[in-house]
Amino acid sequence: MATLNSLRIPVLFLFTLLLGTDAYFMHTQNECRFSSNDLHDLEYIQRYVFNKLEAIRYNSTLNKYIGYTALGVKNAERLNTDGSAEQRHANLDSYCRPNAKLVLTNILDKKNIPEPTIKIRSASHSSHKHTSMLVCSAYDFYPRGIKLTWLRDGKEVTHDVTSTEELADGNWFYQIHSHLEYTPKSGETISCRVEHASLPEGKEVKWDPNMSEVKRNKVIIGASGLVLGLIITIAGVVYYKKKSTGRILVPSS
Ligand SMILES: *[C@@H]1O[C@H](CO)[C@@H](O)[C@H](O)[C@H]1NC(C)=O
């Protein structure tokens, strides 16, 4: 899956004019946008923004300036007819393409794509008595574009599967949860397969009904308690034996 989220390489030119106590803020923003590896959709955008208002935008796909304010519209008309648009268009190949290629070859290799953490858990489910529910979750992946598949004994399950959307965490990462409703059969294996740009071979995680993480922790804590108890008991018995033998060796008058 080689989908990349739309990328921008913004270069900001900032001007601040201080007049009295009010500040006026003018910035020009250059963006190279693409979401393909072959750059067929490469787009060069230049925005002129005054305070928070975008006044003019050059769009290489249209090869035109578009005005968004009265002054912007007036200037766009002029820039579209005096040869400025043509000149701007040259940036697509001279500025955006080489930079985008650098990003694709040096930055966006597999090491730079965060792999999801994958977890399977059972969820209590009350609507039917004889069915169980499993949830396969993938956390902290980027970019969007993930596929979760349930497998029962290696065969893809298409019935009774529901999934959430790819949910944005608000920090550029995403999470997703897929639910499988099923009637348990003894001896079968259930697994969740995850496909994402960060996992060239995909990744399969098996559900272990006997040893969920919580159960395993309980077993470890129980076993540790048992061992500790045994050590204390043995130490106590040894101590008691030594004490009682000592008394016999030194008889009181
Ligand atoms: C540029 O124009 C194309 C064609 O109309 C449009 O699809 C694209 O969204 C525009 N890009 C921006 C950033 O406005």
pLDDT given for residue 245 in this prediction: 75
* Distance from Cα 35 to the centre of ligand 1, integer Å: 13
In 3-state terms, what secondary structure has residue 88?
Answer: helix
Cβ contacts of residue 71 below 8 Å, gap of 6+? 55
pLDDT of 157 > 90? The answer is yes
* Residue scoring higher pLDDT (247 or 27): 27
Mean per-residue pLDDT of the chain: 86
Question: Range with the lowest mean pLDDT among 6-20, 171-185, 209-223, 237-251?
Answer: 6-20
Report how far residue 171's alpha carbon sits from residue 191's, in angstroms, rounded to the nearest whole number.
29
Report how far residue 137's alpha carbon sits from residue 173's, in angstroms, rounded to the nearest whole number.
14
CATH 3.10.320.10 domain extents, the chain: 7-111
Q: Is the CB of 45 under 6 A from ligand 1?
A: yes
3-state helix/strand/coil string of 31-90: EEEECCCCCCCCEEEEEEEECCEEEEEEECCCCEEEECCHHHHHHHHHHHHCCHHHHHHH
Q: Which atom of ligand 1 is nearest to the CA of 45?
A: 13
* Distance from Cα 67 to the centre of ligand 1, integer Å: 14
Report how far residue 8's alpha carbon sits from residue 6's, in angstroms, rounded to the nearest whole number.
7
> Do the beta carbons of residue 25 and residue 14 sit within 8 Å?
yes
Q: Which atom of ligand 1 is nearest to the CA of 66?
A: 14
* Distance from Cα 93 to the centre of ligand 1, integer Å: 17
- Name the residue at shortest CA distance from atom 5 of ligand 1: 62
3-state helix/strand/coil string of the chain: CCCCCCECCCEEEEEEEEECCEEEEEEEEEEEEECCCCCCCCEEEEEEEECCEEEEEEECCCCEEEECCHHHHHHHHHHHHCCHHHHHHHHHHHHHHHHHHHHHHHHCCHHHCCCCEEEEEEECCCCCCCCEEEEEEEEEECCCCEEEEEEECCEEECCCEEECCCEECCCCCEEEEEEEEECCCCCCCEEEEEEECCEEEEEEEEECCCCCHHHHHHHHHHHHHHHHHHHHHHHHHHHHHHHHHHHHHCCCC
* Distance from Cα 56 to the centre of ligand 1, integer Å: 13
- Name the residue at shortest CA distance from atom 14 of ligand 1: 59
- Name the residue at shortest CA distance from atom 10 of ligand 1: 59
The band of 186, judged by pLDDT with boundaries at 50, 70 and 90, is confident
Fold (topology level) of 113-211? Immunoglobulin-like (2.60.40)
* Distance from Cα 59 to the centre of ligand 1, integer Å: 6
pLDDT given for residue 2 in this prediction: 39
CATH 2.60.40.10 domain extents, the chain: 113-211
What is the average per-residue pLDDT within 221-225?
94
pLDDT given for residue 119 in this prediction: 95
Q: Which CATH number is associated with domain 7-111?
A: 3.10.320.10
Q: Is the CB of 237 under 6 A from ligand 1?
A: no
What is the average per-residue pLDDT within 155-175?
94
